[in-house]
Amino acid sequence: MITVDHLTKTYGGFTAVDDVSFTAQHGRVTGFLGPNGAGKTTTMRIMVGLTPATSGSVRIGGRDYRDIPNPGLHVGVLLDASAQHAGRTGREVLMIGAKTMGLPDSRVDEMLELVSLTPAESKRRVRNYSLGMRQRLGIAHALLGDPSVLILDEPANGLDPAGIRWMRRLLKSYADQGGTVLLSSHLLNEVELIADEMILIGRGTIVASGTKESLLSGQASSTLVHSEDNDALGRHLTAAGHAVAVEAGGLRVDCDSPTVGRAALEAQVVLTELRSGAAGLEDLFLALTEDTQREGRPAAATAQGGTA
């Protein structure tokens, strides 16, 4: 388990990480989510001792990273899949890791097989790897020492859809066995599917955290409905005291879907589509990090929110 306690990192006058505190529990996948430059990578670099913190601390399993002997056996780290010597073969990259940690050579072949890098691919130089292959190699490297804690920065970057699904299953099973998984991403959908807990960070500060359900619980209910007679249904709902707006060939009503369904039954209107129109995580995320986005809040995201 990872405990980040009032962590702050400043570079001159720029505050990259501003009083960040959170916990990544064991047995759970924790998603670390934020726009580019929000401070995710800096936080992870501080975790593994590559960057000194200005103040605050990070403890992994109750210890400072520097105080973990042979840390590769306890904490699997992937910070940047492209940070490998271009002239080294993929297999050799893993061999160096295995030698440092004191693992048998057979472990390298096991890991290559686990991440589906073929023997022929593993003998090619990293220079010739696609981003997806580098990512697989990086994940193999993180898993080499069979660690109980995984810290992965943007691990799904460059993976194809099958690869993303594979990684999702892999990390899920890791957490199910009691491991701690912390992964960062700027892609919400990807994290939403895999993470049990989510930590949302924007411009160095945590803007929200919790499970998907708890994050969304504060949202007002809203329903999108299409029917054979929208006018009649709309009149009936308005009469019942609900605000109704015409949207995309249907109606948006500010109540939950059973209420709309009942109203349709009473008005004897045939429903053709009925779904929750509540703002999804994406809307919440954009709203919370609105002032930290590089672009203003895009209107399109709001319109698509119901499908999230």
The reply on whether position 162 binds another protein by CB under 8 A is no
Q: Please report, as residue ranges, which positions from 90 to 119 form the binding site for another protein (by CB under 8 A).
A: 92, 95-97, 99-102
CB of 45 to another protein, least distance (A): 7
The reply on whether position 26 binds another protein by CB under 8 A is yes
Please identify, using beta-carbon distances, which residue of 67 and 273 lies nearer to another protein: 67
Q: Pick one of 5, 15, 37, 49: the residue that binds another protein (CB under 8 A).
A: 49
Pairing type for strands 250-253 and 205-210 reads unpaired
Q: What is the residue whose two structure tokens read 């499970």? A: 211
DSSP secondary structure string for all residues of 48-93: TTSS--SEEEEEETTB-GGGSSSGGGTEEEES-TT-S-TTSBHHHH
CB of 264 to another protein, least distance (A): 50
Quick check: helix, strand or coil at residue 185? strand
Q: Pick one of 30, 135, 148, 289: the residue that binds another protein (CB under 8 A).
A: 148
Pairing type for strands 2-11 and 14-24 reads antiparallel
Residues near 9 by beta carbon (within 8 Å), at least 6 away in sequence:
15, 16, 17, 39, 42, 43, 46, 51, 53, 54
Which has the closest alpha carbon to 244: 261, 273, 224?
224
Q: What is the DSSP letter of 254?
A: S
Evaluate whether 170 touches 140 at the Cβ level (below 8 Å): no
User: Mask of contacts with another protein, 210-239, x by CB under 8 A?
Assistant: ------------------------------
Q: Pick one of 178, 210, 258, 298: the residue that binds another protein (CB under 8 A).
A: 178
Stretch that binds another protein, among 63-71, 110-118, 185-193, 265-273 (CB under 8 A): 63-71
CB of 85 to another protein, least distance (A): 4
The reply on whether position 87 binds another protein by CB under 8 A is yes
Q: What is the DSSP letter of 145?
A: T
The reply on whether position 9 binds another protein by CB under 8 A is no
How far, in whole angstroms, is CA 78 from its chain's centroid? 15
Distance CA 114, CA 116 (A): 5
Stretch that binds another protein, among 47-55, 108-116, 185-193, 222-230 (CB under 8 A): 47-55
CB of 128 to another protein, least distance (A): 11
The enclosing H or E element of 42 equals helix 40-47
Evaluate whether 65 touches 216 at the Cβ level (below 8 Å): no
The reply on whether position 174 binds another protein by CB under 8 A is yes
Q: Pick one of 31, 35, 71, 305: the residue that binds another protein (CB under 8 A).
A: 71
250 C-beta neighbours (distance < 10 Å), count: 21
Please identify, using beta-carbon distances, which residue of 182 and 207 lies nearer to another protein: 182
The reply on whether position 129 binds another protein by CB under 8 A is no
Residues near 254 by beta carbon (within 8 Å), at least 6 away in sequence:
220, 221, 222, 242, 243
The reply on whether position 294 binds another protein by CB under 8 A is no
Q: Pick one of 5, 8, 19, 48: the residue that binds another protein (CB under 8 A).
A: 48
CB of 3 to another protein, least distance (A): 9
Question: Would you tell me which residues interact with another protein (CB under 8 A)?
Answer: 1, 26-27, 45, 48-51, 60-63, 65-66, 68-74, 77, 79-80, 82-88, 92, 95-97, 99-102, 125, 141, 146, 148-149, 174, 177-179
